[in-house]
A and B are shown apart, each in its own frame.
Chain A
Amino acid sequence: AQSVAQPEDQVNVAEGNPLTVKCTYSVSGNPYLFWYVQYPNRGLQFLLKYITGDNLVKGSYGFEAEFNKSQTSFHLKKPSALVSDSALYFCAVRDMRTGANNLFFGTGTRLTVIP
């Protein structure tokens, strides 16, 4: 069975500092990995995905993520955090069950960027 883990419920970072939100995965076969962001009482917005190719994936709003197969990780990063980046971030992996094409989500990490 596939799953994703986000080990940190909360991440605090000062504005202007680099940020990292961690995600590890467990799948059989090649993973399809995604990052989404959720603002209060809103749906999820797509940030980036890894399907194949370059391990460093660049996405929306200056975010990027690095796929590391040996460590089964897909950490989200940004070189310089903004206060407006404060939100709930979800890592997700595609459901690999036969005939399924939804996503399984991690438990989410709340990012707070401190001015």
Chain B
Amino acid sequence: GAVVSQHPSRVICKSGTSVKIECRSLDFQATTMFWYRQFPKKSLMLMATSNEGSKATYEQGVEKDKFLINHASLTLSTLTVTSAHPEDSSFYICSARDGAVGYTGELFFGEGSRLTVL
């Protein structure tokens, strides 16, 4: 299947700093990528839909100014957690769908990024 690379896999930062997480589709073009957040022993919560060349669509309750999303190319989306606080500590997962397949295709997921804010 298609490969989605997510980096970094783990990051520890101090409260108040910003952290950037990258999500790349390695062997396909993804006009749309998705960012999820997973709490311990909980399901994945969709945070936002990242659209190449346009603004991201955020789910209700997700702070746009805290979770900045940029989708500058067909293979790269970034999530920046700005002014991180301990409550932002979580497992963040990106996913993408092969644009050539369409909306019946499955999502391919990155390996996730565990953020710990001290």
Chain A contact residues, CB within 8 Å of chain B: 32, 34, 36, 41-46, 49, 51, 90, 94, 100-108
Decide: A107 and B42 in contact? CB cutoff 8 A: yes
Q: Report 24 cross-chain contacts, Cβ distance below 8 Å, ordered by A residue.
A: A32-B103, A34-B107, A36-B109, A41-B9, A41-B114, A42-B111, A42-B112, A43-B4, A43-B6, A43-B93, A43-B111, A44-B95, A45-B109, A46-B106, A46-B108, A90-B44, A94-B103, A100-B49, A101-B32, A102-B49, A103-B107, A104-B46, A106-B43, A108-B43
Known: A43-B4, A43-B111. 17 other contacts (CB 8 A): A34-B107, A36-B109, A43-B112, A44-B95, A44-B109, A46-B107, A46-B108, A49-B104, A49-B106, A90-B43, A90-B44, A94-B103, A102-B34, A102-B46, A102-B107, A105-B44, A107-B43
- Chain B neighbourhood of A45, CB < 8 A: 109
A90 cross-chain contacts in B, Cβ below 8 A = 43-44
- Roughly how many angstroms separate A32 CA and B42 CA in the complex, as a whole number? 22
Which residue in chain A gives the minimum CB-CB distance to B114?
A41
- Tell yes or no: B71 within 8 A of A by CB: no
Q: How far is the CA of A34 from the CA of B106 in the complex (A)?
A: 8
Residues of B in contact (CB 8 Å), total: 26
Which of A34, A41, A101 has the most B CB atoms < 10 Å from its CB? A101
What separation, in Å, do the CA atoms of A15 and B32 have in the docked complex? 40
Residues A41 and B103 in contact, CB atoms below 8 Å apart: no
Residues 35-60 of B contacting A (Cβ, < 8 Å): 41-44, 46, 49
Shortest C-beta distance, B74 to chain A (Å), equals 16
Q: What residue of chain B has the Cβ atom nearest to residue A95's Cβ?
A: B46
Please report the C-alpha to C-alpha distance between residue A10 and residue B19 in the assembled complex, in whole angstroms. 34
Which partner residue on chain B sits nearest A32 by CB separation? B104
Q: In the docked arrangement, what's the CA distance between A90 and B93, Å?
A: 14
What is the chain A residue whose CB lies nearest that of B1? A46
Cβ–Cβ < 8 Å partners of A104 in chain B: 46
B93 partner residues in chain A, CB cutoff 8 A: 43-44
A49 to chain B, nearest CB (A): 6
